C-alpha cells in the first residue's frame, strides 16, 4: 500500500530523527533547539493558534505534532501566550516559516523555541505520522538532533535501537501526576477587565491552577469577576479565607487518576455548596469527585473544530479541545452521583462530542456545579462556548441571592 514507505533508518549528523516507541522512524531537519527530548507524542489539528498551543500547560510533557503544514508564519507576540513559557516537550511540524508576517509579532517562533530549549523536528511526512498515531494510538517518542545523535564515547552515529531504548525509558502518561509541576507557586489576582475595569468586582472566584491558561481568568474578569488564582496545593481553608462566590478548577496535564488530593479538595468545595465550574482537567476531577471513573482515549481530542452538543439546548457548538483522558459517565440519563451514595445529588452528562460520543460536560441538578471537558475560553479556537462563563456567573448570582437551583 505504501509505495514510498521506505522507513528512513539512515540519517546524517545534520538531520533530526523522530523515533516512536513502536519503532517507526522519521528523519527530518532540526527545528527549534538542538538536543533530545522523550515524551508522549500527540497531535493537534488546529489550523491557527500555535502560540497558544505551545504555551498551554496541559501540553506539559508531551511532544506535539501539528497537522497544519505551515507553522510560525505570524511569529510570536507578547499578547497571545497562555502562560509564561512554552510547555510542550517537543515540537513536530512540516514547514516552519522562514519569515514572520504579522503586525503584532515581536519575534520568530524558531528563535523562541530555541531560546526556551524546545527540541523539534521539521520537514517530515506529518500526515503519515498522524495516521499512524490515529490507528496505533498515542505513544512515547523521542526527537534527537545534534550531538544527541552521536555516541558520547565514540562520537559515532548512534543506532536506531539505541535511540529507541532511550525512548522506551521515558515515563508513560498514564499514571503521571503533573499538575503540581505546572501550577503557580504563589497566589495572584486578576482584577475585573473590559467594561468592568476599575470597578468593584461583582463576584470573587477562587481559581485553582492545575495548569490554567491565561485566557480563562480573563474571560471571568471580562464578566466582572475578581479572580484569585491559587496554587494546586491550596487547602480548603485557604480557599474559604478568600470568601469566594464561586470556585473554579482549571485545565491541566497528567492522568486524572493520580490526583486524589485535589479530588478531595473539590469534594470539600462541593459539600460547602460553593458554585463550581471546571474545565478540562477540572471536568475530570469533578467527575472523579462525583464518583465516576476516567479513562485514557486512544489518541485524544486536540484541535479546534470539534462539534459538541449541549444536551440542555440541543445546540451544537464548535469547540477547542485538548484532552487525552475522559470521564466515564452514562449519556442520556440523569443518575444519582455515585460518590457517597448520591451525596452530591443527581447529575447528568450535559455535553457530548458528536464525533465519538465522548463525555464533554457534567452538570449537577441538586448542587450548583457543572464542568466541561473542552475549552470555552478558546485561545486558540472558536468562541462558541463562551456562554459557559455566563452560566457560571449566573450560578454565582443565583447563589448570592439565595435562590434554589433547579428546585
Q: Which stretch binds other proteins (CB under 8 A): 67-75, 234-242, 289-297, 358-366?
A: 67-75
Q: Distance between CA 117 and CA 133 in Å, rounded?
A: 25
In this chain, which of 95, 180, 191, 222 binds other proteins, going by CB under 8 A? 95
Q: Which CB, 278 or 303, lies closer to other proteins?
A: 303
Please tell me whether 23 is known to bind a ligand. no
Q: Is 324 annotated as a binding residue?
A: yes
| Grid cell for residue 246 | 464561586
Residue 48 in the binding site for other proteins (CB under 8 A): yes
Does residue 358 belong to the site contacting other proteins (CB under 8 A)?
A: no
CB of 102 to other proteins, least distance (A): 6
Question: Do you find a cis peptide bond into 73, omega within 30 degrees of 0?
Answer: no
77 labelled as ligand-binding? no
**Residue among 280, 317, 323, 360 flagged as catalytic:** 280
Binding status of residue 16 toward other proteins by CB under 8 A: no
User: Which phi-psi region, left, alpha or beta, contains residue 35 (left: φ > 0; alpha: ψ -120 to 50)?
Assistant: left
Q: Which three cell numbers stand for residue 336?
A: 444519582
3-state class of 128 per DSSP? helix
The verdict on 52 binding other proteins (CB under 8 A) reads yes
Inter-residue long-range contacts of 145-149, CB under 8 Å, 24+ positions, other chains counted? 145/15, 145/16, 145/17, 145/30, 145/34, 145/35, 145/36, 145/119, 145/121, 146/13, 146/30, 146/34, 146/35, 147/34, 147/35, 148/34, 148/35, 148/36, 149/11, 149/13, 149/15, 149/17
Residue 146 labeled ligand binder: no
- 9 binds other proteins per the rule CB under 8 A: no
- Measure the CA–CA gap between 208 and 250, rounded to whole angstroms: 6
* Annotated binding residue 166: no
Q: Which residues pair with 336 in a beta bridge?
A: 346
Residue 160 makes contact with other proteins by CB under 8 A: no
CA dihedral sign of residues 131, 134, 135, 141: positive
Contact with other proteins (CB under 8 A) among 29, 35, 77, 181? 77
Grid cell listed for 166: 532511550
46 binds other proteins (CB under 8 A): yes
**C-alpha cell belonging to residue 387:** 456562554
Does 375 participate in catalysis according to the annotation? yes
Contact letters for other proteins, residues 280-299 (x by CB under 8 A): -------------------x
360 catalytically annotated = no
If the CB atoms of residues 63 and 378 are measured against other proteins, the closer one turns out to be 378
- Number of residues interacting with other proteins: please give it, by CB under 8 A: 62
Out of 78, 103, 153, 402, the residue judged to bind other proteins by CB under 8 A: 103
- For 216, residues 6+ apart whose C-beta sits below 8 A from its C-beta are 207, 248, 250, 251, 279, 377
Paired strand residues for 334: 348
User: Which contacts (CB < 8 Å, 24+ apart) does range 344-348 have?
Assistant: 344/270, 344/289, 344/290, 344/369, 347/290, 348/311
Does residue 51 bind other proteins (CB under 8 A)? yes
Q: Assess 307 for contact with other proteins (CB under 8 A).
A: yes
Alpha-carbon span 26 to 94, nearest angstrom: 12
Task: State the nearest-atom distance from the C-beta of 372 to other proteins, in Å.
Answer: 17
Residue 72 φ/ψ region, left for φ over 0, alpha for ψ in the -120 to 50 degree band, beta for the rest? left
CB 354 within 8 A of CB 307: yes
Q: Which of 116, 128, 166, 231 binds other proteins (CB under 8 A)?
A: 128
Q: Residue 24 class from Cβ within 10 Å (0-12 exposed, 13-18 middle, 19+ buried)?
A: middle
The annotation status of 252 as a binding-site residue, yes or no, is yes
Beta carbon nearer to other proteins, 305 or 398: 305
Binding track over 363-402 against other proteins, x by CB under 8 A: ---------------xxxxxx-------------------
User: What residues act catalytically?
Assistant: 280, 375, 377
Residues near other proteins (CB under 8 A): 1-6, 8, 26, 43, 45-49, 51-52, 67-70, 73-74, 77, 79-80, 94-95, 97-99, 101-104, 124-128, 130-131, 134, 299, 303-307, 309, 314-316, 318, 354-356, 378-383
The binding site for L-glutamine consists of 58, 252, 254, 281, 284, 322, 324-325
The binding site consists of 58, 252, 254, 281, 284, 322, 324-325
Amino acid at each position: 500500500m505504501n509505495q514510498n514507505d521506505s522507513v528512513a533508518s539512515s540519517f546524517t549528523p545534520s538531520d533530526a530523527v523522530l523515533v516512536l516507541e513502536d519503532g517507526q522512524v522519521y528523519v527530518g531537519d532540526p527545528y527549534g533547539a538542538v538536543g533530545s527530548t522523550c515524551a508522549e507524542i500527540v497531535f493537534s489539528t488546529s489550523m491557527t493558534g500555535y502560540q497558544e498551543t505551545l504555551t498551554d500547560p496541559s501540553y506539559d510533557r508531551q511532544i506535539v505534532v501539528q497537522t497544519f503544514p505551515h507553522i510560525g508564519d505570524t511569529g510570536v507576540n507578547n499578547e497571545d501566550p497562555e502562560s509564561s513559557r512554552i510547555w510542550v516537550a517537543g515540537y513536530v511540524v512540516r514547514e516552519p516559516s522562514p519569515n514572520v508576517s504579522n503586525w503584532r509579532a515581536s519575534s520568530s517562533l524558531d528563535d523562541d523555541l530555541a531560546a526556551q530549549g524546545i527540541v523539534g523536528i521539521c520537514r517530515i511526512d506529518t500526515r503519515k505520522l498522524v495516521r499512524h498515531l490515529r490507528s496505533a494510538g498515542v505513544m512515547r517518542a523521542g526527537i534527537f538532533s545534534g550531538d544527541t545523535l552521536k555516541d558520547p564515547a565514540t562520537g559515532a552515529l548512534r543506532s536506531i535501537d539505541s535511540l529507541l531504548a532511550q525512548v522506551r525509558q521515558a515515563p508513560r502518561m498514564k499514571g503521571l501526576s503533573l499538575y503540581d509541576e505546572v501550577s503557580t507557586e504563589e497566589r495572584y489576582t486578576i482584577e475585573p477587565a473590559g467594561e468592568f475595569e476599575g470597578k468593584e468586582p461583582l463576584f470573587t472566584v477562587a481559581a485553582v491552577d492545575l495548569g490554567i491558561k491565561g485566557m480563562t481568568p480573563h474571560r471571568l474578569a471580562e464578566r466582572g469577576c475578581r479572580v484569585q488564582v491559587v496554587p494546586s496545593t491550596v487547602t480548603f481553608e485557604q480557599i474559604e479565607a478568600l470568601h469566594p462566590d464561586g470556585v473554579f478548577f482549571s485545565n491541566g496535564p497528567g492522568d486524572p487518576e493520580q490526583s486524589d488530593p485535589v479530588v478531595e479538595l473539590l469534594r470539600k468545595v462541593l459539600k460547602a455548596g460553593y458554585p463550581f465550574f471546571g474545565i478540562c482537567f477540572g471536568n475530570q476531577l469533578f467527575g472523579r469527585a462525583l464518583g465516576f471513573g476516567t479513562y485514557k482515549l486512544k489518541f485524544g481530542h486536540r484541535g479546534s473544530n470539534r462539534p459538541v452538543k449541549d444536551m440542555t439546548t440541543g445546540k451544537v457548538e464548535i469547540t477547542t479541545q485538548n484532552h487525552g483522558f475522559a470521564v466515564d459517565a452514562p449519556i442520556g440519563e440523569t443518575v444519582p452521583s455515585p460518590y457517597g451514595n448520591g451525596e452530591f445529588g443527581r447529575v447528568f452528562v450535559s455535553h457530548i462530542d458528536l464525533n465519538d460520543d465522548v463525555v464533554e460536560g457534567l452538570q449537577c441538578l441538586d448542587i450548583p456545579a457543572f464542568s466541561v471537558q473542552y475549552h470555552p475560553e478558546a485561545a486558540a479556537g472558536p468562541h462558541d462556548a463562551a456562554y459557559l462563563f455566563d452560566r457560571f456567573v449566573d450560578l454565582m448570582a443565583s447563589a448570592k441571592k439565595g435562590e434554589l437551583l433547579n428546585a
